Chains A and B, each alone.
Chain A
Amino acid sequence: MAFQNFRNSQKSMRRLYDAIAYVIVACMLVFALGPLVWTALTSIKPESDIVTNEMQYIPTHPTTEHYVKLWNRSGVTTMFRNSAFTTTLTVVLCLLVGTFAAYSISRYRFRGRGGILTFYLTIRMFPAVLMLLPLYIMLRNIGLLDSLLGLALTYTTFSMPVSLLMLKGFFDAVPADLEDAARIDGCTRLGALFRVVMPLARSGIAATAVLIAVGAWNEFLFALMLTNSESSRTWPVVLQLMVGEFQLPWGLIAAGGMISIVPIIIFFAFAQKALVRGLMVGAVKG
């Protein structure tokens, strides 16, 4: 009897905890998604419905005017092209450099291997601002200041350590036997890397690419400091400067925000699982 009571009380306790868990997750979802939803709603309200005395929760006159206006603004398409170009270049460079380094650390046992890995992981402690100033001077001296290439090289370096860790994990999972077989058939090591290892690790490489792309697409501080002409500004900088200069109406800001996070959400939807794994590898091993 006592045992039965104990079981029952345990069961009700469990149910109580479950209920609490649901409440916590629900509250957190509202907190996490609320701002996004509100921004989306604001971006389709006409300005007169945003600036009102009575808060309007559901848009009564949905409109795309802010998106159209923003898109036609001079410089906006350039900044998008700039961001897209910088992001693509960063992904390509970082994957190339990262793949080589990750393959080396995954397949070879050599002196200094552990040291290099630790070194790559500790470098992210250095304050960005501290590196910004010398980078500014260096890039100016070699003529890459205010260039998308200079920006992409910087992003490549900052994303490289985490990409390396992710890629190493994916390469570790490719059996070395397959590579040996290819080499017996006359493939060189380099050939085996491109023809055997990389195709087998392609989903992992794609996830790494997404992670690099999100980082490069979002970056603000370096882009603000290392570029100064319209031809090389990326969109987070332009968005921020437009708001500061023109006291941009809220509708436009909201639309600008929405446009800029659409690529990220698409990326995210595509590679959500691998991305989570990548973030974790990067964080835990760091």
Chain B
Amino acid sequence: MLQNALPPDSQSSQTLPAARKGRSLNPLTWLGELSESRYWAYLLLLPSLLLVVAVIVYPVFYGVYLSFQQFNLLRAGLGMKFVGLQQYTELFADDDFWVIIKNTFVWVFGGAFSQFFLGLVVALALNRKNLKGGPLARVLLLLPWVIPSVVAGHMWALLLDSRLGVINDILVKLGILTSYRAWFADSNTAMPAVLLVDMWRGTPFFTLLLYAGLQSIPEELYEAAEVDGASGWAKFRAITIPMLTPVIVAAVILRVIGLVNSPDLMIVLTNGGPGLATFTLSLYAFQIAYENFNFGAAAAVSVIMLLILMVFTTLYLKFSGVTKNT
């Protein structure tokens, strides 16, 4: 940059074009020189920004735009037609939609609460000093989190199978059940069963984060409380929970986003059934898009999901009070 800014005298005006040419011949040298310029910081960010804009930002806006259109990919010849809020009003007028909304809330809050609670219990157990085998247990407990949802789904379909399921067999042998049950086919047990499978996959995430959060609480706080004669429960309430709150909030938000957005387990295990018992918004949007190719309606459902998430995140951040300190 600096060299270019120098006033060209008679000598360099002859050598400059040649130097330029040499530069462009070797892209590495050219890049190296570029890296000395003050635009380098921005240039480095450029590829990632381009990707994010093309693959995430633009599609999101386009998706919102689609939700105001009549657009069916199977009848692409009809093209797009602006229909305003019609996709939304049609959804709201549909009784099934409200059942699906209710299911979504059961799925998301049931999942987030059960996984958070179990994760906290396990994290507290792992956090006890001189627990033998702690490091190995931590790694093994994390495994379900990296198992793909499709495999997890099929594993549990086998475990809970109505004829060959080992869980049925164990429960019958223990005398808890009198006969085998079809967990995923009974509308009373289908949702709890899918929640159990997600608990298997989702709990390690909470365990990991909460354990890390517990580890970062300074020991001195507990020692000071002990000098003051605080009981275990008092210490838990006055030190552990407040210190852990930022981690809890972050973990819950991330898990809720995951629960709202991914229909994977339902696709593998129940396909929403029996009836509408395990139908959630994400599965609904996916089915409208994948099976009917009605992209306008599917976009409207996803926009509703986004709105629910945004409202939830805002309210949760506000009421948990974590944003005040940071």
Question: B15 CB to closest chain A CB, in angstroms?
Answer: 21
Tell me what chain B mostly uses at the interface: helix, strand, loop, or mixed.
Answer: helix
Q: What CA separation (Å) do A40 and B97 show in the bound complex?
A: 40
A220 contacts B57, CB within 8 Å?
no
Q: Choose from A24, A126, A137 the contact partner of B56 (Cβ within 8 Å).
A: A126
Q: Choose from A42, A154, A221 the contact partner of B286 (Cβ within 8 Å).
A: A221
Any chain B CB within 8 A of the CB of A225?
A: yes
Q: What CA separation (Å) do A36 and B59 show in the bound complex?
A: 37
Any chain A CB within 8 A of the CB of B68?
A: no
Any chain A CB within 8 A of the CB of B217?
A: no
Q: Which of B84-92, B183-191, B249-257 contacts A (4 or more CB under 8 A)?
A: B249-257
Question: A67 CB to closest chain B CB, in angstroms?
Answer: 15
Q: Which residues of B contact A31 (CB under 8 A)?
A: 200
Q: Which residues of B contact A57 (CB under 8 A)?
A: 166
Q: Which of A70-78, A196-204, A277-285 contacts B (4 or more CB under 8 A)?
A: A277-285
CB within 8 Å for A98 and B48 given contacts A24-B121, A189-B40 = yes
Q: What CA separation (Å) do A42 and B130 show in the bound complex?
A: 36
Any chain A CB within 8 A of the CB of B164?
A: yes
Q: What CA separation (Å) do A29 and B52 show in the bound complex?
A: 39
B60 contacts A279, CB within 8 Å?
no
A188 contacts B35, CB within 8 Å?
yes
Q: Which residues of A contact B158 (CB under 8 A)?
A: 38-39, 42, 250, 253-254
Q: Which residues of B contact A236 (CB under 8 A)?
A: 148-151
Q: What CA separation (Å) do A32 and B47 show in the bound complex?
A: 40
Question: A223 CB to closest chain B CB, in angstroms?
Answer: 10
Q: Which residue of A lies closest to B172 (CB)?
A: A55
Question: B217 CB to closest chain A CB, in angstroms?
Answer: 14
Which residues of A, 108-135, contact B by the 8 Å Cβ criterion? 108, 110, 116, 120, 123-135
One digit per residue, 1 when the CB lies within 8 angstroms of any chain B CB and 0 when it does not, for chain A 204-246 equals: 0000000000100110110011000000000010011001000
Q: Which residue of A lies closest to B309 (CB)?
A: A125
Any chain B CB within 8 A of the CB of A88?
A: no
CB within 8 Å for A39 and B254 given contacts A133-B66, A283-B205 = no
A101 contacts B48, CB within 8 Å?
yes
Q: Which residues of B contact A276 (CB under 8 A)?
A: 138-139, 142, 208
Q: Which residues of A contact B315 (CB under 8 A)?
A: none
Q: Which residues of A contact B32 (CB under 8 A)?
A: 188-191
Q: Which residues of B contact A220 (CB under 8 A)?
A: 148-150, 264, 267
Q: Which residue of A lies closest to B145 (CB)?
A: A279
A221 contacts B263, CB within 8 Å?
yes
One digit per residue, 1 when the CB lies within 8 angstroms of any chain B CB and 0 when it does not, for chain A 147-188 equals: 000000110111011001000000000000000000000001
B305 contacts A103, CB within 8 Å?
no
One digit per residue, 1 when the CB lies within 8 angstroms of any chain B CB and 0 when it does not, for chain A 252-280 equals: 01101100110011001000100010011
Any chain B CB within 8 A of the CB of A97?
A: yes
Question: A86 CB to closest chain B CB, in angstroms?
Answer: 14
Which residues of B, 203-256, contact A by the 8 Å Cβ criterion? 203-205, 207-209, 212, 232, 246-247, 250-251, 253-254
One digit per residue, 1 when the CB lies within 8 angstroms of any chain A CB and 0 when it does not, for chain B 103-127 equals: 0000000000000001001101110
CB within 8 Å for A24 and B60 given contacts A240-B150, A284-B250 = no
Any chain A CB within 8 A of the CB of B282?
A: yes
CB within 8 Å for A100 and B139 given contacts A25-B126, A130-B306, A286-B250 = no
Q: Choose from A33, A108, A134, A191 the contact partner of B143 (Cβ within 8 Å).
A: A33
A214 contacts B146, CB within 8 Å?
yes
> Which residue, of A51, A135, A191, has the highest number of chain B Cβ atoms within 10 A?
A135
Question: B271 CB to closest chain A CB, in angstroms?
Answer: 9
Q: What CA separation (Å) do A8 and B145 show in the bound complex?
A: 41
Any chain A CB within 8 A of the CB of B303?
A: yes
Any chain A CB within 8 A of the CB of B182?
A: no
Q: List 11 A-B contacts (CB under 8 A).
A: A21-B131, A25-B126, A25-B131, A36-B143, A36-B147, A130-B59, A138-B59, A214-B146, A264-B146, A279-B205, A284-B212
* Beyond A25-B137, A131-B60, A153-B55, 5 additional pairs, beta carbon < 8 A: A36-B143, A100-B48, A125-B306, A138-B54, A236-B151
Binding site for A on B (CB under 8 A): 31-36, 40-42, 44-45, 47-49, 51-52, 54-60, 62-64, 66, 73, 118, 121-122, 124-126, 128, 131, 137-152, 154-156, 158-159, 161, 163-164, 166, 169, 200, 203-205, 207-209, 212, 232, 246-247, 250-251, 253-254, 257, 260-264, 267-268, 282, 285-286, 289-290, 295, 298-299, 301-303, 305-306, 309-310, 313
Binding site for B on A (CB under 8 A): 13, 17-18, 20-22, 24-25, 28-29, 31-33, 35-36, 38-39, 42, 50-51, 55, 57, 96-98, 100-101, 103-105, 107-108, 110, 116, 120, 123-138, 153-154, 156-158, 160-161, 164, 188-191, 193, 214, 217-218, 220-221, 224-225, 236, 239-240, 243, 250, 253-254, 256-257, 260-261, 264-265, 268, 272, 276, 279-280, 283-284, 286
